């Protein structure tokens, strides 16, 4: 039995390192721009590949030595260079400059910083206290351009952008209520409930302002690096139509006539390899696009309320859950999510930014949602509740969490324990 298991393990190892499998994995990880460039390169090199494209969108020709335009352009307008330039203009003290530089280097492609307080400290190997990091993040990074840079979640992103619009305090108060009231699951619930205390017109204006925000402020700069969406969403009558973006994507086909000609003569080993490579590439690219669409479609379905502007809350969903539903490995999901984008009605967003893991095994709740629940309990209870008492109250609601988990997220809110409150 033991020998059999060893053999099976060795076979699995052998499959894992097959060159063709490695090539398939590499294809899966490529962004849309990278896969398009690969298709152009392969079509030029392999005579058995026929490339059909209405418009040539190869990006390699921009790398020519004509005048170095792309490199100059990229250097000027990349998000990081823009932020660094703004920081230099502020004449910060050395400690603030070092923290700020680390924070902007940790931004994702959308310009967001989706880290909790513990993870922020981890960026600095826990050498710098979180309050010093937050002072730089909130006091400096959040005031840079474009508005919303460095936001830790979509709610903070929206608030940062709307604060730049010089809204009156009553408008901001209403917007905060819509965004942060834990009793509202979506905008419709918020609208129905808030109509009891706010004029309907004010609520509609607030919702329109929220829905007008750019959820990926960093992509305005990154667009010079030719970011393209693989998946597009078209809202129709309250539903989502989700599809692969066919525009400008080269269609490859196999040249059967050329293959027949080579069969009539003695073809070399190299030609036979080209035939096999061409057929493999066509199959692999079709599989890559099909898999990306399946993953993107499932994510969009899970987050339909958010994408239809009916809610600012993301539903908890992880790589593991996606993998289970699609019957693939979590590592496959991770590879697919690398540098993949979705074109939404509010602009292009990074596919993985729509994921949020649940902190509870018995109830789906994101870390941000749990922190809001903890904050609500503490603020609305006149007694100084201990972490154990907060845990008991939440577990009555079905959260099934340990006291240490509550203590961890309460600390992330910078709320002291009951003895120090």
List the domain boundaries for the chain.
19-36+227-247+271-357, 79-211, 367-412
Q: How far apart are CA 301 and CA 295, in angstroms?
A: 10
Do residues 279 and 320 touch, judged by C-beta distance below 8 A?
Answer: no
Q: What pLDDT is attached to residue 22?
A: 72
Q: What pLDDT is attached to residue 72?
A: 30
Q: How far apart are CA 63 and CA 70, in angstroms?
A: 7
Among candidate residues 347, 349, 245, 319, the one with its CA nearest the CA of residue 35: 245
Among candidate residues 110, 199, 120, 212, the one with its CA nearest the CA of residue 161: 212
Q: Cα 18 vs. chain centroid, distance in angstroms?
A: 30
- Specify the pTM: 0.60
Q: How far apart are CA 190 and CA 363, in angstroms?
A: 22
Angle (CA) 279-281-282 rounded to 5° is 65
CB under 8 Å to 167, separation ≥6 — which residues?
175, 209
Do residues 252 and 50 touch, judged by C-beta distance below 8 A?
Answer: yes
Q: What pLDDT is attached to residue 10?
A: 42
Q: How far apart are CA 320 and CA 165, in angstroms?
A: 40
Do residues 110 and 219 touch, judged by C-beta distance below 8 A?
Answer: yes
Residue 251 main-chain phi, psi, to 5 deg: -105, 120
| Angle at which helices 269-302 and 19-29 cross, to 10° | 40
Q: How many CB atoms lie within 10 A of CB 232?
A: 20
DSSP state of 356: B
CB under 8 Å to 403, separation ≥6 — which residues?
387, 388, 391
Among candidate residues 240, 237, 212, 267, the one with its CA nearest the CA of residue 342: 240
Do residues 361 and 400 touch, judged by C-beta distance below 8 A?
Answer: yes
Instruction: Give buried/exposed letters for 302-315 (b at 16+ CB in 10 A, else e).
Output: bbbbbbbbbbbbbb
Parallel, antiparallel, or unpaired: how do β-strands 239-244 and 251-254 relate? unpaired
Do residues 351 and 299 touch, judged by C-beta distance below 8 A?
Answer: yes
Q: How many CB atoms lie within 10 A of CB 379?
A: 8
Q: How far apart are CA 304 and CA 299, in angstroms?
A: 8
Helix or strand (DSSP H, E) at 6: helix 2-16
pLDDT by position in tens, the chain (length 421): 434 443 443 444 444 446 677 777 788 888 898 899 999 999 999 999 999 865 544 444 334 343 332 333 233 357 887 888 788 878 788 899 999 999 998 998 889 999 888 889 888 988 999 999 999 999 999 999 899 999 999 999 999 999 988 788 889 999 999 998 888 888 888 888 898 889 999 999 999 999 999 888 888 665 445 678 899 988 777 778 899 998 889 999 999 998 888 876 666 778 888 999 999 999 999 999 999 999 999 999 988 888 887 777 788 888 888 999 999 888 888 888 888 889 887 778 888 888 877 787 788 787 778 888 898 899 888 888 999 999 999 999 888 888 888 888 888 777 888 877 7
Q: What pLDDT is attached to residue 272?
A: 86
């Amino acid at each position: 039995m033991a020998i059999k298991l060893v053999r099976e393990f060795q076979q699995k190892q052998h499959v894992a390192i097959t060159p063709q499998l490695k090539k398939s994995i590499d294809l899966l990880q490529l962004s849309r721009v990278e896969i398009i460039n690969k298709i152009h390169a392969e079509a030029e090199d392999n005579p058995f590949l026929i490339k059909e494209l209405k418009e040539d969108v190869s990006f390699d020709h921009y790398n020519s030595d004509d005048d170095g335009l792309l490199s100059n352009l990229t250097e000027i307008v990349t998000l990081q260079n823009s932020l660094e330039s703004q920081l230099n203009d502020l004449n910060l003290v050395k400690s603030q400059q070092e923290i700020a530089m680390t924070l902007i280097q940790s931004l994702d492609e959308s310009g967001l910083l989706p880290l909790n307080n513990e993870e922020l400290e981890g960026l600095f190997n826990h050498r710098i206290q979180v309050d010093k990091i937050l002072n730089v993040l909130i006091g400096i990074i959040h005031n840079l351009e474009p508005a919303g840079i460095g936001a830790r979640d979509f709610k903070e992103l929206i608030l940062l952008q709307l604060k730049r619009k010089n809204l009156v305090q009553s408008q901001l108060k209403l917007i905060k209520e819509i965004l942060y009231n834990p009793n509202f699951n979506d905008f419709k619930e918020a609208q129905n409930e808030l109509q009891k205390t706010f004029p309907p017109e004010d609520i509609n204006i607030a919702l329109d302002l929220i829905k007008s925000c750019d959820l990926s402020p960093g992509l305005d700069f990154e667009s010079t690096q030719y970011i393209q969406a693989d998946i597009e969403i078209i809202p129709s009558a309250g539903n989502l139509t989700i599809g692969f973006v066919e525009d400008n994507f080269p269609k490859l086909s196999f040249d059967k006539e050329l293959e027949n000609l080579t069969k009539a003569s003695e073809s070399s080993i190299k030609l036979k390899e080209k035939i096999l490579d061409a057929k493999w590439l066509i199959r692999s690219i079709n599989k890559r696009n099909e898999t990306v669409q399946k993953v993107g479609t499932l994510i969009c379905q899970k987050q339909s309320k958010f994408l239809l502007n009916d809610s600012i809350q993301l539903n908890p969903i992880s790589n593991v859950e996606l993998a289970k539903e699609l019957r693939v490995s979590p590592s496959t999901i991770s590879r697919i999510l690398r540098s993949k984008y979705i074109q939404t009605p509010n602009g292009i967003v990074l596919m993985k930014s729509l994921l949020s893991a649940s902190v509870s095994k018995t109830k789906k709740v994101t870390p941000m949602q749990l922190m809001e629940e903890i904050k609500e309990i503490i603020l609305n209870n006149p007694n100084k509740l201990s972490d154990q008492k907060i845990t008991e109250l939440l577990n009555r609601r079905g959260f099934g969490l340990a006291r240490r988990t509550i203590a961890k997220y309460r600390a992330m809110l910078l709320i002291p324990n009951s003895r120090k409150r």
